Each structure stands twice: as structure tokens, then as C-alpha cells.
Chain A
Amino acid sequence: DQQVKQNSPSLSVQEGRISILNCDYTNSMFDYFLWYKKYPAEGPTFLISISSIKDKNEDGRFTVFLNKSAKHLSLHIVPSQPGDSAVYFCAATGVSDDKIIFGKGTRLHILP
């Protein structure tokens, strides 16, 4: 059973607009959430994270929102740029387990 779910395999967004990538999780023991970005033939690289004690974390064009009651987080990219085209993974981990559980990824296409 998937503990971290990214229900959209792909997303297309116009350059300059906002990209919103969604993620749901089922394990209430998760308390730290991460987003990774992956280009072809490379490993995923860390993008931004959020602890369960916060509901928002912002880093430049990237903002992650966490809704613990809904077990939902989202990544907002504003404004979207061509270099943002990549696969984005949502991931989660808990206090008692240092392994990270990954979602299946969402492929983001930024359209010119």
C-alpha cells in the first residue's frame, strides 16, 4: 500500500504561471516531508522540505504547504520557468525511521 501518493503522473503549465504539485500521505507518524527534483539520467536532488510543526516553507520561487489534518502537501512554483521541467518526487519520513518513502513522481512540463 502506497504511503506517499502523487496522483498526477504529469502536469503541463504555461511558462510564467504557477505550478502546483500535490501529494497525499497515509502514515500519521510521518513528521518530515521533502520534495525532490529529477532530470533524466540523474538522481533526484533535494529541493525543499517542511517539518510537521510548520504549515508553510518558502525558498525563492518554491513554497511547500502542509495540511496535517488532511495529510496533504503541495509544492508551488511561481513563476514557472523552462528549467523547472523535470520529475518531482514527494517524500516523507518519520522520527523513528530514517528511511525516506517516495511517491511515484509527477512529470512537470513547462510550456513556452
Chain B
Amino acid sequence: NAGVTQTPKFQVLKTGQSMTLQCAQDMNHEYMSWYRQDPGMGLRLIHYSVGAGITDQGEVPNGYNVSRSTTEDFPLRLLSAAPSQTSVYFCASSTNDGYTFGSGTRLTVV
């Protein structure tokens, strides 16, 4: 089925560990983005990409890296996890017809 696939759905990390949240879409969308969702704060934009090879910072980029080597994939890397990065993460892709969100990844950093 066409859409945005996020993996894993759940993850527990220890402080200082690194990991990559995967995001893939098969709709040939140019624009992809990562958000974190925290209680009372809506969704905050972490990083976004307007096409393969192009990425840019959003509102809260610190502690996260992204790359966009292909149109389909937009992984989000946590370099050294901190408890403040405990959140639910959403990946989205979009065109002029609207946004498609992934199902989210619940990350807990202990």
C-alpha cells in the first residue's frame, strides 16, 4: 500500500546511545519532514527535505541528523540520545495535494 512507513514503532534507548529512525515513502513525493510530538507542544519540525540531496533544519534540529540520498528514504539519526529526546516522532511526505504522515515512533530514552 502506498504511504509513509516508519520503523521502529517503539524503541527504548539508554542515554548516550545512537540510533536511526527510518522513514520511507513510495509516492515519489519530493518534500519529506520529521516532527516530534510532545504534550502541550503540538508537533515541532526537526528537519525537512525538499528533494534528494537537499536537507534543512526545522525548529528543533539539535541532537538530530538527517540525510536524503534517495527520494524514497529520509532517515533521522540521534547521535547521542538524551532523556529530553523522549517523544513520539512522526515522519511525513507531502505534495500540493496534502501531507501523508507515518504511524509514528515512540522513543523513550532512559
Partner of B59, one of A43, A99, A104: A43
Contact between A104 and B42, CB atoms less than 8 A apart = no
Interface SS of chain B: strand
B1 (CB) vs chain A CBs: closest residue: A1
- Residues on A with C-beta less than 8 A from B59 are 42-43
Q: Tell me whether A19 is interfacial, beta carbon within 8 Å.
A: no
Q: Contacts A99-B88, A104-B100 given: A45-B48 contact, CB under 8 Å? A: no
- Residues on B with C-beta less than 8 A from A10 are 96
Contact with A along B76-103 (1 / 0, CB 8 A): 0000000000001010101011111101
Interface SS of chain A: strand
Q: Contacts A36-B43, A43-B42, A44-B43 given: A102-B48 contact, CB under 8 Å? A: no
- Residues on B with C-beta less than 8 A from A9 are 96-98
Q: Tell me whether A41 is interfacial, beta carbon within 8 Å.
A: yes
B97 (CB) vs chain A CBs: closest residue: A9
A3 to chain B minimum Cβ distance, whole angstroms, is 10
Residue total for A at the interface (Cβ-Cβ under 8 A): 22
Cα A92 to Cα B92 in complex, Å, equals 16
Q: Contacts A99-B88, A99-B104, A100-B37 given: A43-B45 contact, CB under 8 Å? A: yes
Partner of A104, one of B43, B48, B97, B103: B97
Cα A44 to Cα B101 in complex, Å, equals 12
B103 to chain A minimum Cβ distance, whole angstroms, is 7
Contact between A6 and B42, CB atoms less than 8 A apart = no
The A-contacting residues of B in range 23-52, CB under 8 angstroms, are 35, 37, 42-45, 48
Binding site for B on A (CB under 8 A): 6, 9-10, 36, 41-46, 87, 89, 98-107
Chain A to chain B contacts (Cβ below 8 Å), 11 pairs: A6-B98, A10-B96, A42-B45, A42-B58, A42-B59, A43-B45, A43-B59, A45-B43, A102-B90, A103-B98, A104-B99
